Amino acid sequence: MSRKVTKAIFPVAGLGTRFLPATKSIPKEIMTLVDRPLIQYAIDEARAAGIKEFIFVTSRGKGALEDYFDHAHELEASLREKGKKDLLDTLRATNMESGAIAYIRQHKALGLGHAVWCARRLLADEPFAVILTDDVILGEPPCLQQMIEAHEETGGSMVATMEVAADKASSYGVLDVAEDMGAIVRARGMVEKPAPGTAPSNLAVIGRYILAPTVMQNLNKLRAGSGGEIQLTDAIADEITEGRDVFGLRFRGQRFDCGSKIGFLQATVAFGLERDELKGEFSDYLSNLMSVRRAAE
């Protein structure tokens, strides 16, 4: 049995330029899907998977993200006074235990691998999770929990994976598959953003990882890869070269790329339709909208 995974790294240093002008003053991780910031979805998924320590790798301009995790004492007191129990519960559910969150600064945007490496001193010789908050996943059980359960069986390192269209593979890390066991595949290699037409498979890496401590050691090389950046994918691929196991899990669930406008819009619709208090009115609105548009075509 491998050691329990209790720490997760959240690389949140990106500038979010695809969402300018919004990201001029708010970190993209605070952008709201229905009524919760993206980061809350990531935290909830990590908690459901048993994560106890949350390490944010941040950069300049991310103050609002740090503030988001402060307890809102005045607001809580006022809701309590007014007897607004539901709102109070919603608010309290976001409270984090003191000392459970650490913030580390990435001083230079040198890539995802570098961001993860910045957290090295907060980890002992233990497996750890990495969650990319842009990838929002609707799934039950939540994706990271599915991975923790699978990892308990396999050990080694594990990435979340899903099939993508051939012409999209060059936007992802892609698995070279040694053995396909159904939900789990064993990798013989991993390539970050392969040139069009050269992807070793159609299985893309999605932003959930459970990594062996040796991946952090591989990152010590600080070797530049695709796009001149230090890539996490390369440090995971090194595991395979050195004879250690790397698996991909075809998770059950729907992934949204909330780092893109279209992905964010799709996620807004999907998560809106999941909410009991919204779905009736919202789906009526969407069907009417579509029929009016179709009639006008």
Where do contacts with ligand G1P occur on this chain (CB under 6 A)? Answer: 112, 132, 135, 172-173, 192, 204-207, 232-233
| Residue keyed to tokens 């650490």 | 102
Q: Is 292 helix (H, G, I), strand (E, B) or coil?
A: helix
Residue closest to ligand G1P, measured at CB: 173
Rounded to a whole number of angstroms, the minimum distance from the CB of residue 37 to ligand G1P is 18
DSSP string, 11-77: E-----GGGTTGGGTS-GGG-EETTEEHHHHHHHHHHHTT--EEEEEE-TT-HHHHHHTS--HHHHH
**Pick 19 or 79: Cβ nearer ligand G1P:** 19
Residue number with CB closer to ligand G1P (12 or 79): 12
Closer CB to ligand G1P, 132 or 144, in the complex: 132
What is the C-alpha separation between 102 and 284, in angstroms, rounded? 43
CB atoms closer than 10 angstroms to residue 13: 24
Least CB distance from residue 188 to ligand G1P, whole Å?
17
Nearest to 267 by CA among 94, 131, 138: 138
**Is the Cβ of residue 45 or residue 192 nearer to ligand G1P in the bound state?**
192
Provide the minimum distance between the beta carbon of 232 and ligand G1P in the complex, in angstroms, as a whole number: 6
Return the number of the residue (256 or 271) whose C-beta is nearest ligand G1P: 256
Of the candidates 153, 193, 179, 183, the one whose C-alpha atom is nearest the C-alpha of residue 253 is 183
The Cα–Cα gap between 55 and 33 comes to 22
CB 255, min distance to ligand G1P, A: 8
- Min dist. Cβ of residue 48 to ligand G1P (A): 20
Q: How far apart are CA 175 and CA 258, in angstroms?
A: 22
Nearer to ligand G1P, 145 or 233 (CB): 233
Q: Could you tell me the two tokens for 182?
A: 């159904």
Residue 152 beta carbon to ligand G1P: minimum distance, rounded to whole angstroms = 24
